[in-house]
């Protein structure tokens, strides 16, 4: 394999002197705890060891994001990375570095930071949004602020931020220098040459580090299947302007609450057309407040009204920016659609604009919300019928190829995409001249071990599970609970109640059968009577006083499952309950 030239180009970019030494027995282990094979839940561990299999010296973590539940995860609110591997290594973790302020990169911090208790770094807006997330959970952790002119040192690691264009300001990629070589961590980006905030991608910085020799490029790959370049953000503003001029009622705009650039464009259109702006939904209100204080959002306060004041204005005077682009049940837009919002209702003549594509798994919910709004008389516009309403923050195939060309890495690792997207990215890299052994396609939890000779091998796999968050419960809902929820949702539930004399342990009466979501009991008398006989026969097998009720319950449930499947070809969740009387 080809070794890279490690010469430095200027003093400002040089890591500390001890980082220039590259002894042959040093190893960097890269461990994805999320963001491999899925678009969200981004978390990557850079682990430095002085020998293969030797003691861990230092750990650096990049990003700490949530994932979103799929349709089979009934009742689950979100998914977070499994940090079991890190729990006995807390003293080795030097920092968590955040690349940008989207939820799939920062929103797991409230669940994970109290456990790991390590310093966190991000650019100014990213740090502010992360602190908002922490405060929502009553946490007062300070997020350290860095800018793109700094180089941060963490033991054997040095980290330099590269400003990139994305769908949120202050988005960055990372240059991570290690004793075995340079890693370019290219999380979400595109090459937008006319960005809303006027800050273009730091192409010169990328080219400079490329001249030093990049060992591995980790690159966003989620839009590799889309040809060409991703369209610039600015085209959305013209589309909003056109739709607003046709609107005779309220104009309601929804996007993801962290999509600050998109919100700025909506504000620009509202102000130009002399409409009063109201921000509805907690996350929108919080994010607008913090970003305006930091001057990432600019607008005259005179245009803003509070939601309790909305009734004072004609519908044609209002421009509402609301949460709920993913049809979240308690978001402002969902409450407006179902008529439960205190201050806003939908009327004919109103226009609702969705400026966000559904997250995978949320498509049905979003389309259902669109139907509900349409039924109430609103004109609803969304990207399926109007392309220019949503522009991705992720680079398409040409953007991704340009990043490969700029960085010229020895190895390439696609991240932040599905398996099919990772494979397509690999095909694109091969079309650009990369060999199979230069393209790394690990699974989540697979360890990649780089040595100081410029080689890489696949190490062990760390067993990872989905850590599911349900209400206030974190990790207490596992596969067994999910399986039971799936069974109840698909097949229903049957409860068997057996009354027992407390003093004698004898069954005192006929068991009771309760069905929910399985059959309608009033119309299934024969089936319910048959089920009671099965339970009664199971109980008759026990003579005298019954002590081992756990065994009896299993026997009842097993025999009843066989009977119900034979009669209905359904397998409801069966629960037997002993009631002492």
550 Cα distance to chain centroid: 41
- What one-character DSSP code corresponds to residue 107? T
User: Residue 157 is encoded by which pair of tokens?
Assistant: 């690691």
Q: Where are the beta strands (DSSP E) in 134-225?
A: 144-145, 151-154, 157-163, 172-178, 181-186, 214-220
Angstrom CA distances, 196 to 60, 200, 269, 316, 543, stand at 32, 9, 13, 27, 80
430-436 long-range CB contacts below 8 Å, 24 or more apart?
Answer: 432/401, 432/404, 432/405, 434/404
Nearest Cα to Cα of residue 79 among 120, 122, 43: 43
How far apart are alpha carbons 201 and 343 in whole angstroms?
A: 42
Bridge-based pairing state of the strands 456-461 and 446-451: antiparallel
Task: Please calculate the CA angle 39-42-43 and round it to the nearest 5 degrees.
Answer: 155
How far apart are alpha carbons 579 and 577 in whole angstroms?
A: 6
Sort 313 into a burial class: Cβ within 10 Å, 0-12 / 13-18 / 19+.
Answer: middle
Catalytically annotated residue among 394, 446, 451, 470: 394
Return left, alpha or beta for 518; rule: phi > 0 is left, psi -120 to 50 is alpha, else beta: alpha
User: Residue 525 is encoded by which pair of tokens?
Assistant: 């008398």
Question: At 84, is the secondary structure helix, strand, or coil?
Answer: helix
- What one-character DSSP code corresponds to residue 224? T
306 Cα distance to chain centroid: 30
Contact 280/321 with Cβ under 8 angstroms?
yes
126 Cα distance to chain centroid: 16
Catalytically annotated residue among 63, 220, 350, 451: 220
End-to-end CA distance of the chain: 78
Tell me the backbone φ, ψ of residue 61, rounded to 5 degrees. Answer: -115, 135
User: Residue 528: in which H helix or E strand, if any?
Assistant: helix 525-540
Specify whether 18 is catalytic.
no
User: Residue 220 is encoded by which pair of tokens?
Assistant: 């966003």
User: Residue 315 is encoded by which pair of tokens?
Assistant: 């519908």
User: Residue 453 is encoded by which pair of tokens?
Assistant: 């000779």
Question: At 448, is the secondary structure helix, strand, or coil?
Answer: strand
How far apart are alpha carbons 497 and 483 in whole angstroms?
A: 23
Burial 379-414 (b: 16+ CB within 10 A, else e): bbbbbeeeebbbbbbbbbbbbbbbbbebbebbbbbb
Sort 263 into a burial class: Cβ within 10 Å, 0-12 / 13-18 / 19+.
Answer: buried
Specify whether 569 is catalytic.
no
Active site positions, annotated: 220, 394
């Amino acid at each position: 394999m080809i070794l890279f030239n490690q010469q430095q180009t200027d003093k400002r970019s040089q890591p500390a002197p001890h980082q220039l030494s590259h002894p042959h027995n040093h190893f960097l282990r890269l461990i994805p705890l999320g963001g491999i094979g899925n678009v969200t839940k981004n978390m990557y561990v850079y682990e430095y060891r002085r020998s293969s299999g030797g003691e861990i010296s230092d750990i650096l973590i990049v990003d700490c994001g949530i994932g979103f539940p799929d349709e089979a995860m009934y009742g689950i609110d979100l998914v977070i990375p499994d940090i079991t591997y890190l729990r006995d290594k807390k003293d080795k973790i030097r920092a968590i570095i955040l690349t940008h302020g989207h939820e799939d990169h920062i929103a797991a911090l409230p669940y994970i930071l109290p456990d790991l208790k390590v310093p966190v770094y991000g650019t100014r807006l990213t740090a502010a949004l992360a602190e908002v997330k922490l405060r929502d959970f009553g946490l007062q952790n300070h997020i350290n602020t860095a800018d793109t002119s700094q180089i941060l040192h963490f033991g054997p690691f040095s980290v330099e931020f590269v400003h990139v264009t994305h769908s949120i300001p202050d988005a960055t990629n990372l240059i991570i220098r290690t004793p075995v070589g340079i890693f370019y961590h290219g999380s979400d980006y595109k090459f937008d040459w006319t960005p809303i905030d006027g800050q273009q991608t730091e192409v010169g910085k990328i080219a400079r580090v490329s001249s030093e020799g990049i060992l591995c490029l980790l690159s966003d790959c989620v839009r590799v299947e889309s040809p060409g370049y991703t369209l610039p953000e600015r085209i959305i503003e013209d589309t909003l302007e056109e739709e607003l001029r046709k609107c005779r009622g309220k104009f309601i705009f929804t996007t993801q609450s962290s999509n600050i650039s998109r919100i700025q464009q909506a504000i620009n259109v509202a102000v130009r057309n002399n409409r009063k702006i109201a921000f509805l939904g907690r996350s929108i209100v919080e994010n607008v407040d913090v970003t305006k204080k930091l001057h990432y959002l600019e607008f005259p306060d005179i245009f803003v009204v509070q939601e309790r004041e909305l009734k004072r204005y004609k519908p044609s005077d209002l421009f509402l920016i609301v949460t709920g682009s993913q049809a979240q049940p308690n978001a402002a837009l969902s409450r407006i659609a179902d008529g439960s919002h205190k201050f806003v209702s939908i009327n004919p003549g109103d226009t609702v604009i969705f400026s966000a594509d559904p997250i995978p798994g949320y498509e049905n919910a979003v389309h259902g919300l669109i139907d509900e709004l349409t039924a109430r008389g609103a004109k609803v516009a969304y990207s399926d019928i109007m392309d220019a309403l949503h522009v991705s923050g992720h680079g398409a195939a040409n953007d991704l190829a340009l990043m490969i060309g700029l960085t010229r890495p020895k190895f390439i690792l696609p991240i932040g995409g599905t398996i099919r997207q990772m494979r397509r990215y690999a095909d694109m890299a091969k079309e650009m001249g990369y060999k199979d052994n230069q393209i790394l396609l690990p699974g989540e939890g697979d360890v990649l071990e780089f040595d100081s000779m410029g080689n890489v091998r696949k190490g062990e796999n760390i067993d990872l599970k989905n850590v599911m968050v349900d209400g206030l419960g974190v990790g207490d809902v596992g596969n067994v609970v999910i399986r039971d929820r799936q069974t109840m949702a698909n097949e229903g539930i049957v409860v068997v109640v057996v009354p027992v004399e407390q003093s004698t342990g004898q069954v005192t009466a006929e068991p009771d059968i309760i069905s929910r979501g399985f059959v309608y009991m009033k119309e299934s008398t024969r089936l319910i009577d048959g089920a009671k006989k099965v339970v009664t026969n199971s109980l008759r097998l026990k003579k005298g006083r019954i002590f081992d009720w756990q065994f009896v319950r299993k026997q009842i449930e097993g025999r009843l499952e066989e009977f119900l499947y034979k009669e209905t070809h359904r397998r409801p969740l069966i629960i037997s309950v002993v009631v002492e009387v």
